[in-house]
Amino acid sequence: MFNQALSTWYAVLKNDLNRAAHLPNTPPERRFLLMITAALVLITLALWSIGDYHSGFIALNAWAHQYPNKYWAALTLLGDERLLLVITLIIARRSPHVFWSLIISALIAALYARGLKPLFDAARPPAVLTSDAFYLIGNELKRHSFPSGHSVTAGVFFAVLMCHYRWIEWRLLFGLLAILVGFSRIAIGVHWPIDVTAGLAGGVFAAWLGIGLAQHYQWGITSGWLHTLFIIIAISAALSLIISGSGYPHVDLMVRGVAAVALGMMIYLYKLPTLFRRSELN
């Protein structure tokens, strides 16, 4: 029966997670994340001291529009929680240590972003500037500007990857992607530069803290039910992107393609077809 096949599949998953937890695992070096956080905090304070909360936005937003809108729309989606959840479908099975670090770090980052947004309730550019004063791509968002949630998400996601994948080329790429995602929020006209630097700082610090907690509390690596729960959430995010799109028509086809590929790889990596074969044999 299908229930028996599912139990067998789950037992295999648990066994694989236990085996992965006992493989030699050098703790990721994360001290450099504190230096990056400090630098981003200093940049945030400098932006405030040389002007005001809105300083630098008009010039950066105008400069960004030398390049096509679809580039900024694609980059900003790398800070979208749903798309990054979808990407974890490719990471989780082969690298449960990284997956566990991402889970804890993301939860800390969510507390930071969602706690400060209603506390400050800062107005976004569309609520402050006239429509002809800047370039806007996508929806006209007006509230909860500080900090930039996409920048927090990109900061935490790429900082975790920077710690676990140690080749300098990969680290530089992940760092550059986080910066570009943050800058894209200025380019599309929904955040001030201070929102971005504060968001990246919070995300990187959440990664530093989350990785440390993941190394100390490793039970999440071997927890089959927790692993399965977050995989189901990631699958839901993929289906949401495929059905409803990203909100940016310029890149919807690409996003739906990424979600479909990630789902296909997840089916392969988790050997889901064996569930149905086993149930037929039974």
User: pLDDT tens for residues 131-160?
Assistant: 889 999 988 889 999 999 999 999 999 999
pLDDT at position 281: 41
pLDDT at position 49: 87
Residue with more model confidence, 127 or 50: 127
Residue with more model confidence, 182 or 119: 182
How much is the mean pLDDT over the chain? 88
pLDDT at position 2: 54
Average pLDDT, stretch 186-211?
96
Q: Report whether pLDDT(282) > 80.
A: no
Q: Report whether pLDDT(273) > 70.
A: no
User: What does the alpha-carbon distance between residue 198 and residue 207 come to, in Å, rounded to a whole number?
Assistant: 14
Triad 71, 60, 177: Cα angle to 5°: 45
pLDDT at position 176: 96
Residue 237 region, left (φ>0) first, then alpha (ψ -120 to 50), else beta? alpha
User: What does the alpha-carbon distance between residue 241 and residue 205 come to, in Å, rounded to a whole number?
Assistant: 28
* 165 membership: H or E segment, kind and range: none
Would you place residue 166 in the very low, low, confident or very high pLDDT band (cuts 50, 70, 90)? confident
Over residues 212-267, the pLDDT tens digits come to 999 888 888 888 889 989 999 999 999 999 998 888 888 889 999 999 999 998 88
pLDDT at position 22: 66
Average pLDDT, stretch 264-281?
66
pLDDT at position 25: 63
pLDDT at position 242: 93
Q: Report whether pLDDT(76) > 90.
A: yes
Would you place residue 280 in the very low, low, confident or very high pLDDT band (cuts 50, 70, 90)? very low
Structure tokens, 39: 């630098």
Q: Are 40 and 200 in contact (CB under 8 A)?
A: yes
Give percent of the chain with pLDDT exceeding 90.
60
Structure tokens, 196: 């971005």
User: What does the alpha-carbon distance between residue 254 and residue 252 come to, in Å, rounded to a whole number?
Assistant: 5
Q: What count of Cα atoms within 13 Å lies in the side-chain half-sphere of residue 71?
A: 9
Q: State which amino acid sits at residue 219.
A: W
Task: Give me the domains of the chain, ranges plus CATH numbers.
Answer: 29-274 (1.20.144)
pLDDT at position 279: 46
By CB atoms closer than 10 A (0-12, 13-18, 19+), residue 141 is: middle
Structure tokens, 70: 């679809």
Peptide bond preceding 147: is omega within 30 degrees of 0, i.e. cis? yes
User: What does the alpha-carbon distance between residue 138 and residue 26 come to, in Å, rounded to a whole number?
Assistant: 43
Q: Which residue has the tokens 């490719």?
A: 90
Give percent of the chain with pLDDT exceeding 70.
91
Structure tokens, 9: 């599949």
User: What does the alpha-carbon distance between residue 244 and residue 259 come to, in Å, rounded to a whole number?
Assistant: 12
3 state SS of 68:
coil
pLDDT at position 44: 93
